[in-house]
């Protein structure tokens, strides 16, 4: 019989930075979370252990702009496991100036349900 896995992590959802201890059963289900001072810490630990997500930032080439690139980001976090695939998609994109802040550059990137948007106007 497999033993439960215990993971110690620092919560990053707020400035407190609680040290959280999470326990998973043999199937990977989170069965307990301790050390968090709020419910956000519990949610963070469960997500981090079962389906980690990350915010993504990068740049996209601009044709005809005052700068050769414009900063972009994911509108919401994307699955951590898909980061390199998403970066490869972003690298294929060139936008034409003018560019507005918040403009969608890639809608629903790789079927994740997340848009890649510009962070600045140009």
Each residue of 46-99: pLDDT tens digit?
999 999 999 999 999 999 999 999 999 999 999 999 999 999 999 999 999 999
Residue 9 near residue 47, CB atoms below 8 Å:
no
Question: Is the model's pLDDT at 114 over the cut of 70?
Answer: yes
pLDDT at position 48 is: 95
Q: What is the CATH number of domain 57-118?
A: 3.10.530.10
Q: Using CA atoms, how far apart are residues 52 and 20, in angstroms rounded to an integer?
A: 16
Q: Is it the case that residue 35 has pLDDT exceeding 90? A: yes
Look at residue 2 and tell me whether its pLDDT is greater than 80: no
Q: Are the beta carbons of 68 and 61 closer than 8 angstroms?
A: yes
Which tokens go with 81? 């496991």
Residues of each domain in the chain carrying CATH 3.10.530.10 = 57-118
């Amino acid at each position: 019989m497999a033993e439960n896995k215990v993971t110690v992590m620092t919560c990053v959802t707020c400035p407190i930075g609680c040290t959280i201890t999470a326990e998973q059963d043999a199937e990977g289900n989170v069965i307990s979370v301790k050390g968090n001072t709020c419910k956000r810490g519990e949610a963070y630990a469960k997500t981090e252990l079962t389906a980690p997500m990350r915010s993504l930032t990068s740049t996209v080439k601009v044709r005809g702009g005052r700068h050769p690139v414009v900063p972009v980001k994911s509108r919401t976090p994307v699955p951590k496991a898909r980061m390199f695939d998403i970066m490869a998609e972003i690298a294929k994109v060139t936008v034409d100036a003018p560019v507005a802040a918040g403009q969608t550059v890639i809608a629903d990137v790789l079927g994740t349900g997340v848009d890649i948007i510009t962070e600045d106007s140009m």
